[in-house]
Structure formats: C-alpha cells, structure tokens
Amino acid sequence: MKDDDLRRHLHKLRVPEGSETARARARHRALIAFRQGGSMRAEEPAWKGFVWRWRGVIALAFVMGLLPVFFFKHRNTSENLANDRQILQQMEKLFPNQVDAVVDRNGKVALSIAQSPVVGSDQPVVVVFKRGHESIRVLSYSGHRVCLMLGKTENCFEILATPAGGVILEGEDKVWSASEHPEVAGYSVRAQSLEARL
Amino acid sequence: MENTKDFAPRVVFTYKGRMRIENEEVPEAQLVTGAQSGDAKSFEVLFNRYYNMIHAFAYRVCLVETEADDIAQETFIRAARGISSYRATASFKNWLYRVAHNALIDWGRQAARQRHKENQFAAELESRSQARTPDYADIHAALKQLSPDLREAVALVYFEEMNHREAADALGCAETTISWRIFRAKGVLKKLLGSKKGEAS
C-alpha cells in the first residue's frame, strides 16, 4: 500500500460532531474555569478574605430570615418569572457569583452558596417539580449541579440551558428535556430559562 | 493546514437566543490578548473557533465519542486556567494541541487504570453503531491497534496535515520522534489495512 492510499483510507474515518449538550457543558465549564482563573489572578490578601467571610456569614443569616418573606410574598404568583428573577437578583447582590441554588420546598426555603465567588451566573433557570400538592421550586443557573430528595431517593441533575432557550436536565444516566414535560421519580417537571440580566 | 470550516464566518445563536456573527473580523492575536486580560467574550470566541478541531483530535486519538467529549472539555478548562501562561512564540492552535495532548496523557493513565473494560465496551458499541461501511470499521479497528502516542502523531500529520516539525511543536517532542512514530504507525496501518483489502478482494 502506498502512502497516498493510506492517507485516502484514513480520511474515511468519520469524526462524529460533538453533541450539542457536550459542547454546551464544555463551554459553560470552561467559562467558569476562565472566571476562576481571573479571580485567582486578582487574589485578595488573606486578611481581606477573612473580613469578607464574616460579612458573608452575617449576610447569610440576614438572607435566611428574608427568603421566606420573599417566597411568601410571591407565593400566589409563583408562575411569575419576574419574581424568580428578582429573588435571584437579590441573592446575587448579597453573594456575587456565589449563589448555587435557591430551593423552595413547600414553603421551606434553602439557599445554597459556594464558599468562594467562582460560580457562573449568566444563565438563570427555574425548575419546578410537582407531585400532588407537593411542589419544589429550584432557582439556579445553567451548568450547576443540584441534588434533591424526590420522594425517598436523592436525585442529582446538572441543569443546562440550550441555545433555543430550553432547559435540559442531565441525570446520572439519563437526560430529560424540559420541553417534553418529563416525569422524574413521579414528579412532573417544568423548567424554563429566566433569561435575566443579573 | 487549517480547517477552513472552523474559521469561516458564521451565524451563531448564543445561549441567550440572540444571534451574532462571529469569527470574521477579530484577529486571533487580539482575542488571545483579550482573554489574557480577563475578557470572557474573547475566550468564548476562541472556544467556538477551536472546539471542533480539538474534539476531532481527541476522537482520533481515543476513538470513543464520549471520551472525546470529556477530553475536549478538559482541554478547554485547562486552557481557561492557563491562558495567561501562553506566549506568542508558538501559534495558539499549537498551544491548544499541547494542552489537549496533556489532557490525553492523563486520560490514557485513567483509562489504563480504571476504565479499560468500560472503554472497550463503549468502543465496541460505538464501532458497531457507526460501522456504516466496512472501510470505517476496518480503519477504526486498525487505528485502535496503535498506541495513543502513535495515534496522536497520525491525527496531526494525516488529518491535520501538519508537517513533522509542526506536529513536534504541538506535542512538545523532537521532530525525529514524530518521524519515528509515523514510520511505525504507517507500518502497522499498511499491514492491517492492506491485509483487509486483500481479504476483501
């Protein structure tokens, strides 16, 4: 076999195009790493970090008191995406780039924040799980991993916003597209990009 | 030779559903400088330009699509963290190949330790599902016979059309090393593909 024949043969190997989901995930994670790199370049002195940590604790205590008020206020208009945006905006002001997720489980609200400001926050999404009277509302960002108790089992998902404005939930071994109104562990799932400018 | 498909101006729908035209005007050096000074948009444009190239390279070395996804992602995460260390003495593309090469080395170690069986199974499934022509299956199987370092050399020289010196730059090794790897790879591939051809005829 001549070199040219070998070359021609090899070019028959088709390279699959990476899936859109994989590409989206890679882009998102790379951008988070990029911002992390940026924050490392502009590293603050240790004493400053100490002061900010304590401010964070105080702010967290304040927010934990405030969050139920927010949700109570907006309970009757829970479908209102503007309210979800407002809640995330408030959280972002208090914890810039640290908000991982805000979870409202039947009125009990939990806030998950990262220890340092490394979390990407450009693609806010809302995901609602419903089963009977039970309702779990998750406000988070594309690319974030959220773990929830659904029934008696813990389910972890990575939330990904698609270029078309949809939302994909990527579980351990399955992927759900919110546009298909999937059911997960007996819960119906709705999800939407909040498309906010935080 | 650059893959012109990746560099042509194109309409892109962003995550936020907005449309933009990118890649046409902004020179690479400007994007790299922008990214080095912390501009995420510049880095994102570089990502969009080079993702397919790196994904294809990773696939040609590991021959498993899901692994190629992971390696491409890891490459860009490392590039994001290390872009400030890039110096314009080498082309940015070659620097990215170098980052991908390092990611592939780590992948090789992990694969050998932990995922050997799973990879084999996944590769088998994939080759079955993608064996659209006998040629594809044969080439896939023949490449699989090469060690990852030989496949890297083949990927750069035969698919990316680099000369041996450029490939050596990208992989951070001597030109003679690439020449030797290509020599060995050609021997194996010609033997395997030649015998298949003989069987078919």
How far apart are alpha carbons B144 and B71 in whole angstroms? 17
Count: domains in chain B: 2
Cβ atoms of B153 and B178 within 8 Å: the answer is yes
CB contact under 8 Å between B43 and A9, yes or no, is no
pLDDT in tens, A79-120: 567 788 888 888 888 877 778 788 888 877 787 776 655 555
CATH number of the domain that B58 lies in? 1.10.1740.10
Cβ atoms of A128 and A137 within 8 Å: the answer is yes
Q: What angle do CA A104, A29, A166 make, to 5 degrees?
A: 55
Q: Which residues contact B67 (CB under 8 A, 6 or more apart)?
A: B58, B107, B111, B119, B122
How far apart are alpha carbons A119 and A111 in whole angstroms? 14
Q: Which pair of tokens denotes residue A9? A: 């043969």
pLDDT in tens, A166-198: 788 887 667 788 777 888 888 898 888 886 443
Helices B65-82, B116-130: crossing angle, 10 deg rounding = 120
Spatial CA neighbour of A22 closest among B153, B156, B139, B64 = B64
Domain boundary among B93, B110, B127: B110
Ordered strands of the A124-131 beta sheet: A108-113, A99-105, A134-141, A124-131, A187-193, A183-184
CB contact under 8 Å between B154 and A6, yes or no, is no
A25 vs B73, B139, B186: nearest CB: B73
Same domain for B103 and B125, yes or no, is no
Same domain for B50 and B136, yes or no, is no
Same domain for B140 and B193, yes or no, is yes
Query: Considering only CB atoms, which chain B residues are within 8 Å of A123?
Result: 15-16
Q: Write out chain B's pLDDT in tens, 201 residues.
A: 334 334 344 444 443 333 344 445 678 888 999 999 888 889 999 999 999 999 999 999 988 888 899 999 999 999 998 898 888 777 899 899 999 998 888 877 766 555 555 555 555 555 555 544 447 778 888 888 888 889 999 999 988 888 888 898 888 888 888 888 999 898 888 888 876 555 554
Domain boundary among B75, B92, B110: B110
Query: Considering only CB atoms, which chain B residues are within 8 Å of A33?
Result: 76-78, 80-81
Same domain for B10 and B65, yes or no, is yes
Q: Which of B73, B186, B201 to probe the A interface (max A CBs under 10 A)?
A: B73
CA B16 vs CA A80, A183, A192, B147, B173: distances in Å: 19, 26, 12, 42, 42
CATH number of the domain that B134 lies in? 1.10.10.10
Tell the residue number behind the tokens 């079955």, with chain if given: B128
Cβ atoms of B32 and B92 within 8 Å: the answer is yes
Name the residue range of residue B48's domain: 4-110
- The question of ipTM being above 0.85 is answered as no
Encoded amino acid at A51, one letter = V
Same domain for B32 and B79, yes or no, is yes
How far apart are alpha carbons B144 and B162 in whole angstroms? 21
Same domain for B74 and B131, yes or no, is no
pLDDT score recorded for residue A2: 77
pLDDT in tens, A2-21: 777 888 888 877 788 777 78
Q: Which of A5, A8, A13, A25 to probe the B interface (max B CBs under 10 A)?
A: A13
Same domain for B90 and B159, yes or no, is no
- In sequence order, the β-bridge partners of residue A175 are A170
Same domain for B99 and B187, yes or no, is no
pLDDT score recorded for residue B54: 94
Domain boundary among B110, B141, B176: B110
Q: Which residues contact B44 (CB under 8 A, 6 or more apart)?
A: A27, A31
Cβ atoms of A120 and A36 within 8 Å: the answer is no
How far apart are alpha carbons B10 and B28 in whole angstroms? 16
Query: Considering only CB atoms, which chain B residues are within 8 Å of A34?
Result: 35, 40, 43, 80-81, 83
How far apart are alpha carbons B90 and B162 in whole angstroms? 14
Q: Which pair of tokens denotes residue B103? A: 């990611």
pLDDT score recorded for residue B123: 59
> Could you tell me how many helices (H) and strands (E) chain A has, helices first?
4, 10
How far apart are alpha carbons A136 and A160 in whole angstroms? 18
CB contact under 8 Å between A27 and B44, yes or no, is yes
Same domain for B106 and B125, yes or no, is no
A165 vs B17, B43, B140: nearest CB: B17
Same domain for B8 and B76, yes or no, is yes
Spatial CA neighbour of A81 closest among A188, A198, A194 = A194
Same domain for B84 and B180, yes or no, is no
Residue by residue, DSSP assigns A104-142 as: EETTEEEEEE-SSS----SSEEEEEEEETTEEEEEEEET
pLDDT in tens, A36-69: 764 444 334 444 444 444 455 555 555 556 555 5
Same domain for B40 and B101, yes or no, is yes
How far apart are alpha carbons B178 and B157 in whole angstroms? 9
